[in-house]
A and B are shown apart, each in its own frame.
Chain A
Amino acid sequence: MRNVDIELIKFMFMLTVISLYFNIAISLYGVVAKANLVKKLIALTIFQDTVNMFTILVGYKLWRPGLLLQPPVLTDLSPTSETLREFVERSVDPLPQAFVLTAIVIGLAVTLFLTTIVLHVSYHFKTVNVDEIGRSKRVYIHEEAV
């Protein structure tokens, strides 16, 4: 493969990584700066997915001609040492995939939990805006004190 091609692949890869940094920054902004709880929740899921994507990306490796990248699954059920060597040669890193696998499901469970909390909050306060909730809480506390 020509050097130019490798440089191009590296450049595109770097671009992807940087765009993920942007994604992380934007979702963090959403979590911290948005007053709406539902928007916060959406930003949080974007954050989760970005981090998962980043983890998968770190387990990837440079493609070379003649190299068929494949998931870390052995297709031959009675492998010889030669098949195993080829398998290791062609596979991407399985470890980040294993981490992300559980992270996705836990993320889903946490999202469901947060959704139920937001539902509770919206029934209590008739709003999901944290600023308004803070104001109404101050009013309640003031009333009780009086």
Chain B
Amino acid sequence: MLRDFVFMSLLVLIILALTYLTYSGGLGDLPPQDIRTIAKNYLNLTYNQEVSWLWTASPEAVAAIVWDYRGLDTLFETVVFYGAILAALTLFRSIAKAPEFVSSTGLSLIVKRVTAIVTLAILTVAASTALHGHLTPGGGFQGGAIASVAPLLLLVVFGKQFFIGRKITYSKMLSVRNISLTLLGFTSVALLVLGFLIGVEGYIFQNQAKTVSNLSYPTHFLDVPLGGSLIFFNLFEFLAVASGFTLVFTILLSRDDTLRRELEGEERGY
């Protein structure tokens, strides 16, 4: 009881202190009168063809920052993301591979039909979000997260049998994820490797030509802007995120006794 009281008072104290600091200008003007200089530079350069050694060929400043200006940051964040997914998969590794025979036929016909239509819409929105990520708000992460809702819905409404019947197996999803990740890595070093092969300068995460390196990804396909490497990053990230989340959802929605079986034969659990 006393512990709770002390804890509550501490929290109130923290709120009051933060409020005082904010009110007395700790965060600067709120809301800021103008954006920071670094933000102005990003916005000014992202699609500025006159400064072609600093542009990213993408009119979407956020995607440009994520995959070009601060690409290495995103690479490490992606590593954290896949580390967490991998850890979740490792905890239930044997369930995923074990064949599961489920006789469930899913929910009613009405729910199934509605879900079928909604799933199509979800996948369309997801693909559009991911593939237009370099032009409009969105990108591979968001597209993948949207797309992973579709298999989750299908698992609940149609039952796991639906996936098994269509040969959408754990190992296939894992392969999609691994191939996408490899291609993601390859996209980040492609120009470096190309430069090495033809004997010119190239950099990791290089998108467009720099002052010392004239290699660049294509900016347009016919008349469609590609945003250089951004479309490839978005595409592979989309596939990797969608398949990674699908894997975890498949495991989390396994039958109770299958999950329990995983823990049999182990020690007492501490």
B107 in the interface, Cβ–Cβ < 8 Å? no
Chain B: interface residue total (CB-CB under 8 A): 71
Q: Shortest 6 CB-CB distances between A and B: which pairs?
A: A124-B269, A74-B59, A72-B61, A109-B84, A94-B61, A98-B65
Instruction: Kindly specify which of A27-35, A36-44, A45-53 makes contact with the partner chain.
Output: A27-35
B65: which A residues are within 8 A, CB to CB? 94-95, 98
**Contact in complex: B91, A88 (CB < 8 Å):** no
**Contact in complex: A113, B7 (CB < 8 Å):** no
Chain A: interface residue total (CB-CB under 8 A): 61
Instruction: Kindly specify which of B31-39, B110-118, B164-172, B185-193 makes contact with the partner chain.
Output: B31-39
Look across to chain A and name the residue whose beta carbon is closest to the beta carbon of B82.
A109
A74: which B residues are within 8 A, CB to CB? 46-47, 59-61
Q: Scoring A residues 84 to 113 as 1 if CB is less than 8 Å from chain B, else 0, what string do you get?
A: 100110011111011001101110111011
Write the nearest CB–CB distance from A11 to chain B, whole angstroms.
Answer: 10
Majority-rule SS of B interface residues: helix
CB within 8 Å for A120 and B39 given contacts A14-B22, A74-B46, A113-B88: no
- Chain A interface residues (CB < 8 Å from chain B): 9-10, 13-14, 17-18, 21-22, 25-26, 28-29, 32-33, 57-63, 71-77, 79, 81, 84, 87-88, 91-95, 97-98, 101-102, 104-106, 108-110, 112-113, 115-117, 119-120, 123-125, 137, 140-141
Majority-rule SS of A interface residues: helix
**Contact in complex: A29, B7 (CB < 8 Å):** yes
Given contacts A88-B43, A108-B145, A110-B84, 20 further A-B contacts (CB under 8 A): A13-B31, A21-B18, A25-B14, A61-B35, A62-B29, A62-B32, A72-B62, A73-B59, A74-B47, A74-B60, A84-B47, A84-B48, A87-B43, A88-B40, A97-B62, A98-B62, A102-B66, A113-B84, A116-B248, A125-B269
Look across to chain A and name the residue whose beta carbon is closest to the beta carbon of B266.
A124
**Contact in complex: B39, A84 (CB < 8 Å):** no
Look across to chain A and name the residue whose beta carbon is closest to the beta carbon of B19.
A18
A109: which B residues are within 8 A, CB to CB? 80-82, 84-85, 88, 244
A77: which B residues are within 8 A, CB to CB? 47, 59, 225
Pull 7 A–B residue pairs with CB atoms less than 8 Å apart, ordered by A.
A14-B23, A17-B30, A76-B59, A102-B77, A109-B244, A116-B92, A137-B270
CB within 8 Å for A73 and B60 given contacts A87-B43, A98-B66, A106-B84: yes
**Contact in complex: A95, B142 (CB < 8 Å):** no
